[in-house]
Structure 1
Amino acid sequence: MIEKILPPWVASSDCFEDPPDVALFPEEEAAVARAVDKRRREFGTARHCARQAMAALGVPPAPILPGERGAPGWPDGVVGAITHCAGYRAAAVSLEALTIGIDAEPHGPLPDGILPSVSLPEERAAIARLDGDVHWDRLLFSAKESVYKAWFPLARRWLGFEEAHLVFSPSGTFTARLLVPGPLVEGRELTGFTGRWLVSDGLVVTSIAVPGKPTP
C-alpha cells in the first residue's frame, strides 16, 4: 500500500500480518532481548520489510539497529524509513534520496484531548473545514510523524509538533512549512517538505521523499 504514495526511485515493502519465520541478526536480537512480544513482532516484521525493500535495490541483508532517538541505522548509501501500527508494517528505502519519512496509523479519530497537543490552532481550524470521510485529525498526526522522520536525519535534533505548519489538499498531498531554522541542505536552508497521503484498508499512510540527486 505504501508504494502508492512513493516515487519510483524509492523501493518499499509492507506487511499486514507478522510472518512467523522472521529472522533477525544477532545484533538485532540483542536490541529487543528484553522487549515485550508486541514490540519484538513490530521490530522483526519492520526489518523483514526493510530487507525486502533493500533487496529490490540490490542491497544485501544487513542489521538495522535503532540509533539516536530510535531512528533506524541503515547500511552505507541507503536512506530509508520504517513505520508500524496495529495491523501494518512498512519500510521505504532508496539509494537516491536525501531523506525519507513514512508513517501509518489506524484510520480513526485521535483519542480525546490529543489533537491540541500535536497541532497548531490554524491547523485545527483548517482541517475543521475539510469535508469527506477522512479523519483529518489522525491524518495530521501521521503527516507530522512523517515530517519528523524526514527532518531528523538532516537536522539531528528534535522537531516539535508545533514547529511545522501543515496544509492538506484533498487530492492526496500536503505541504509542511518549518517554523524553526532548518539545517543547510546542499547549500540552502531547509524550509519545509512536500508529501503525499492515502486512506485505504482502514489505515492512513503518509510519506515524504526528497531526492538527493537528479534521477534518470
Structure 2
Amino acid sequence: MIEQILPPAVAVAEAFTDPAGLTLFPEEEALVARSVEKRRREFTTVRHCARLALGELGLDPVPIVSGARGAPVWPGGVVGSMTHCDGYRAAVLGRTTAFATLGVDAEPHAPLPEGVLDAIALPAERTRTTALSAARPTVCWDRLLFSAKEAVYKAWFPLTGRWLDFSEADIVIDPAGTFEARLLVPGPVLGGTPVTAFAGRFLVERGLLATAISIPAARP
C-alpha cells in the first residue's frame, strides 16, 4: 500500500496482521520485556518488516533498537522509518546514497478524538482543514493533518537530532494527494542549502490513511 506514495528506490515491507512465530533479537526483546501484549505484537511485526526491507537492499538482518527519542537505529548507510497502527505495520528503507531521510506514518481513517485537532494544529491549518472537510467530507482531513505532522517529525529528527513541535511546521494539504510542510524554525542544511520545507504524499485506502516524505540525498 504505502509503496504507492514512495519512490521506487525505497525498500518497503508492510503487514496487515501479526504473523505467528516471529522472534526478536535479545537487544530488541529487552526493550519490550515489560510491555503489554498489543505493544509486543506491533513492535515485533514492524521489526520483521524492517528486516524484510533490509533484505530488499541486500543487507543481513540486524537488531533494530531505539535511540534518542525512540527513533530507530539503522545500520550504516541506511535511512528509514517505521509506522504501526491498528491493522497495519510498515517499514521503509533506503540507501544514504539515494536518500537523506525518510518519514512515514499510518493511521486509522477515522476522525481525531475531540480536542486533538486544537492541540496539534495551527489556526491556519484548522481553517484549511474545515474547508477541506466541507468540500470533501469522505476524507478525515483532521487525521490526515495529524499523520502528516508525524511523518514530518520522523523525516526531521534524523537530520537534526532535535525535537520539532506540532506548531513548528505549517502543513498545506492538496486534496490531489500531496502536502507541503513549511518549517517555521531553522531547518537542516543539505548540500550547503538550508531546508525550509518538506514535500510529502498521502493516500487513503483499506480503512487507513498513510503519509510519506522522502528527501533525496544531497548531490556533490
Query: Structure 2 length as normaliser, TM-score?
Result: 0.95
Q: Deviations over 1:87-137 (max 9, x none)?
A: 100000001210000000000000001101101010111121112211000
**Residue deviations 1:57-110 (CA, integer Å, cap 9, x gap):** 101101100110000000111100000001100000001210000000000000
Matched, 1:94 2:94: yes
User: Letter of the aligned partner of 2:141 in structure 1?
Assistant: W
**Alpha-carbon shift at residue 213 of structure 1 (Å):** 4.8
The residue type paired with residue 190 of structure 1 is V
Instruction: Give CA-to-partner distance per residue, 1:169-188, whole Å, 9 cap, x none.
Output: 11100000000111222212
Question: Does the Cα contact within 8 Å between 2:157 and 2:163 map onto a contact in 1?
Answer: yes
Letter in 2 for 1:89: R
Aligned residue for 1:31, secondary structure, equals: coil
- 1:33 CA displacement: 1.0
Structure 1: 5+ residue stretches without partners: none
What RMSD in Å do the two structures reach over aligned CA positions?
A: 0.9
User: What amino acid is the match of 1:196?
Assistant: R
Name the TM-score, length of structure 1 as normaliser: 0.97
Alpha-carbon distance between aligned partners in 2 of 1:183 and 1:209, rounded to the nearest angstrom: 14
Does residue 1:127 correspond to 2:125, yes or no? no
Equivalent residue number for residue 117 of structure 2: 115
Q: Which amino acid aligns with 1:75?
A: P
Supply the distance in 2 between the matched residues of 1:76 and 1:104 (Cα, whole angstroms): 26
Are the counterparts in 1 of residues 103 and 151 from structure 2 also a CA contact under 8 Å?
yes
Residue identity (%)? 59
Q: Are 2:180 and 1:175 equivalent residues in the alignment?
A: yes
Aligned residue pairs, count? 214
Q: Deviations over 1:32-78 (max 9, x none)?
A: 11111111111100000011111111011011001100000001111
Question: Could you say which residue in structure 2 is the equivalent of 1:51?
Answer: 51
Q: What is the alpha-carbon distance in structure 1 between the residues aligned to residue 161 and residue 19 of structure 2?
A: 33
Q: Counterpart of 1:167 in structure 2: which amino acid?
A: V
CA–CA distance in 2 between the matches of 1:27 and 1:126?
Answer: 44
What's the secondary structure of 1:61's corresponding residue? coil
Per the alignment, residue 154 of structure 1 pairs with 159
Counterpart Cα distance in 2 of 1:124 and 1:8: 33
Cα distance in 2 for partners of 1:197, 1:184 equals 25
